[in-house]
Amino acid sequence: MTTMRATRWHEPAHRFQVDEIEVPAPTGADVQVQVKACGVVPNLRNVIHKFPEWFPHLPLPDAPAIYGLDPAGVVTAVGPDARGFQVGQRVYVNPVRTCGVCVHCRGGRPVRCNAYTFAGYFGFSPASKAVQARYPWGGFAEYLLAPVDSLAVLPDALSFDNASRFGYLGTSYGALRRGNAGIDTTLLVNGATGTLGVGLVLLALALGVPKIYAVARNRALLERVKALHPSRIETFSTLDGATDAWVRARTGGNGVDLVVEALGPEAPLEATLSAHRAVARGGTIVTVGGQQQAVPIDPIWLMAYHIDYRGSSWFTTSQAQEMADMVGSGVLDMSMLQTQRFGLDAVDAAIDAAGHRELGGFSNIAVCP
C-alpha cells in the first residue's frame, strides 16, 4: 500500500476533508503505526478556529494539517534504528515531540524543551514549527510515523478505544504524581464528573488513595462516580453549597492533603476558590483544568499555611506505560467507559459529540480509521 486516507484541515471556515496521501515510510528511530483509534479533544474546535487570534504564540501545523491527539494502533514497520519494537505490537502513541538535543531533552526534562510540541494539535513556541514539519502526522489518518520514545506497549486487556483516552487519563495521572498521591493521601477532585475528573478518580483508586472527595455539579453523574467505589468515594454537588465547608465538616476541620483542579473554562471562579480553601495546612493544589478566569492568589496564605500550588502539563511516555501496565494487571479498571466511534469522514461530528458528552467523563469519543 502506497497511499492512505487522512482527514486534513485545509483552511478556516471549512470542514475537515478526507484526502488520499502517501503512506509515510519510517527512517532512523521512527516506527510506522496503523491507527486503530484516536481520541477526540473538544478543544480542537477552538484550536483550529480561535488559537490564531487567542494564542498567536502557540503555533499550529501548516495546512493542510492532520490533527488527532491520541492515537493507538499497531506497529506496521520500523526504521533501521528503532530498537525494542516489532511489527505487530499494539501501542499508544504519546503525541509529545521535542527537539531531542537541548540540555533539557538530554537531561530527561522534555516539558522544558523550547520546542515542546503536541503532534496533531499545536506547539508551545515558535521553535515548535520545525518539530511540526518533522512530524506532521496526527491520528486522523490510517497511518502515522512516531519516534520510538513516544510508544507505550498495550496489554491485550486494553482496547484501542480505551487507549485513545490516554491523553486525558495521562493528564490526570501526571497531576496525581505531581501531587504525590498515594495510600496516605486524602484527595479532593474538583470537576469529578468531567473527562479529566473521572480519570482522576479511576487513577486515584488504582494508586490506593483511601479517601476521595469528588465534587461537581451534576448529581446524576456524581452517583456514577460514587458507584465506582462507595466506601472510598464521597460526592458533593456544588449546587448544594460551598465545597470547603462540606470537606472540612468531613475531615475534622482539617481539609484534604491534595486538591486537583479539573474544572473547565466555563466554571464559575468561586467553584475553584472554594475547592482551594478545602486544602489542609501543608497540603498541595495541582491544576490541570481550564479555568479561564484569573485566579487570585494570596502569597501570605501560601506562606503561612505552607501550601504548594502547582501546574501539571501532560505526562511522560513512561507514565503512559505505567497506566497500560496497571490495566494489564487489573489495578486500573476502564470497563465503565462507553465509546462512541466515528470514521475518518465524520471528524467534525466527532468533535461536536466530544463537546456534548451525555455521560460526562464516562463517555469516550474516538475516530477509528
**In the chain, where does the domain assigned CATH 3.40.50.720 lie?**
171-311
pLDDT on residue 53: 87
Predicted confidence (pLDDT) at residue 1 exceeds the cutoff of 80: no
User: For the chain, how big is the Rg over CA atoms in Å?
Assistant: 20
CB contact set of 303 (below 8 Å; sequence gap of 6+) = none
CA dist., res. 224 & res. 235, Å (int): 10
Q: What is the DSSP string of 272-284?
A: HHHHHTTEEEEEE
List, for residues 260-305, the tens digit of each pLDDT value.
999 988 899 999 999 999 999 999 999 998 887 889 999 999 999 9
List, for residues 159-169, the tens digit of each pLDDT value.
999 999 999 99
Predicted confidence (pLDDT) at residue 185 exceeds the cutoff of 90: yes
> What SS3 state is found at 306?
coil
Better pLDDT: 290 or 362: 362
Taking residues 351-366, what's their average pLDDT? Answer: 94
Predicted confidence (pLDDT) at residue 13 exceeds the cutoff of 80: no
Predicted confidence (pLDDT) at residue 128 exceeds the cutoff of 90: yes
pLDDT on residue 115: 95
pTM for this prediction = 0.95
C-alpha separations of 64 from 14, 21, 78, 132, 142 in Å: 12, 11, 26, 12, 16
> What SS3 state is found at 35?
strand
- The yes/no answer on whether domain 3-165+337-367 falls in CATH 3.90.180.10 is yes
Determine whether 335 is exposed, middle or buried from the number of CB atoms within 10 Å of its CB (0-12, 13-18, 19+): exposed
List, for residues 211-247, the tens digit of each pLDDT value.
999 999 999 999 999 999 999 999 999 999 999 999 9
What sign results for the dihedral spanned by CA atoms 62, 66, 69, 70?
negative
**In the chain, where does the domain assigned CATH 3.90.180.10 lie?**
3-165+337-367
pLDDT on residue 207: 98
Taking residues 330-351, what's their average pLDDT? Answer: 97
Could you tell me the three cell numbers for 26?
519510517
Residue 67: band (very low, low, confident or very high) from pLDDT cuts 50, 70, 90:
very high
Across-strand partners of 8? 17
Q: What is the DSSP string of 331-353?
A: SS--TT-EEEEE-GGGHHHHHHH
Consecutive H or E run containing 90: strand 90-93
CATH class of 171-311: alpha beta
For 37-74, letters b (16+ CB in 10 Å) and e give bbbbbbbbeebbeebeeeeeebbbbeebbbbbbbbbbb
Q: What average pLDDT does the structure give for the chain?
A: 96
Taking residues 51-59, what's their average pLDDT? Answer: 90
pLDDT on residue 293: 86
pLDDT on residue 290: 80
Predicted confidence (pLDDT) at residue 105 exceeds the cutoff of 90: yes
Q: Are 212 and 323 in contact (CB under 8 A)?
A: no
Q: What is the DSSP string of 237-290?
A: EGGGS-HHHHHHHHTTT--EEEEEE---TTS-HHHHHHHHTTEEEEEEEEE-S-
Q: What is the DSSP string of 66-79?
A: ---SEEEEEEEEE-
Q: For residue 253, give the amino acid letter.
A: G
CA dist., res. 59 & res. 11, Å (int): 15
Q: What is the DSSP string of 161-213?
A: HHHTTHHHHHHHHHHHHHTT-STT-EEEEETTTSHHHHHHHHHHHHTT-SEEE
CA dist., res. 55 & res. 136, Å (int): 20
Residue 54: band (very low, low, confident or very high) from pLDDT cuts 50, 70, 90:
confident
Could you tell me the three cell numbers for 63?
495546512
Q: Are 41 and 48 in contact (CB under 8 A)?
A: no
Determine whether 24 is exposed, middle or buried from the number of CB atoms within 10 Å of its CB (0-12, 13-18, 19+): middle
Predicted confidence (pLDDT) at residue 43 exceeds the cutoff of 90: no
312 secondary structure, DSSP code: -
List, for residues 289-298, the tens digit of each pLDDT value.
888 788 999 9
Residue 327: band (very low, low, confident or very high) from pLDDT cuts 50, 70, 90:
very high
Q: Are 213 and 274 in contact (CB under 8 A)?
A: no
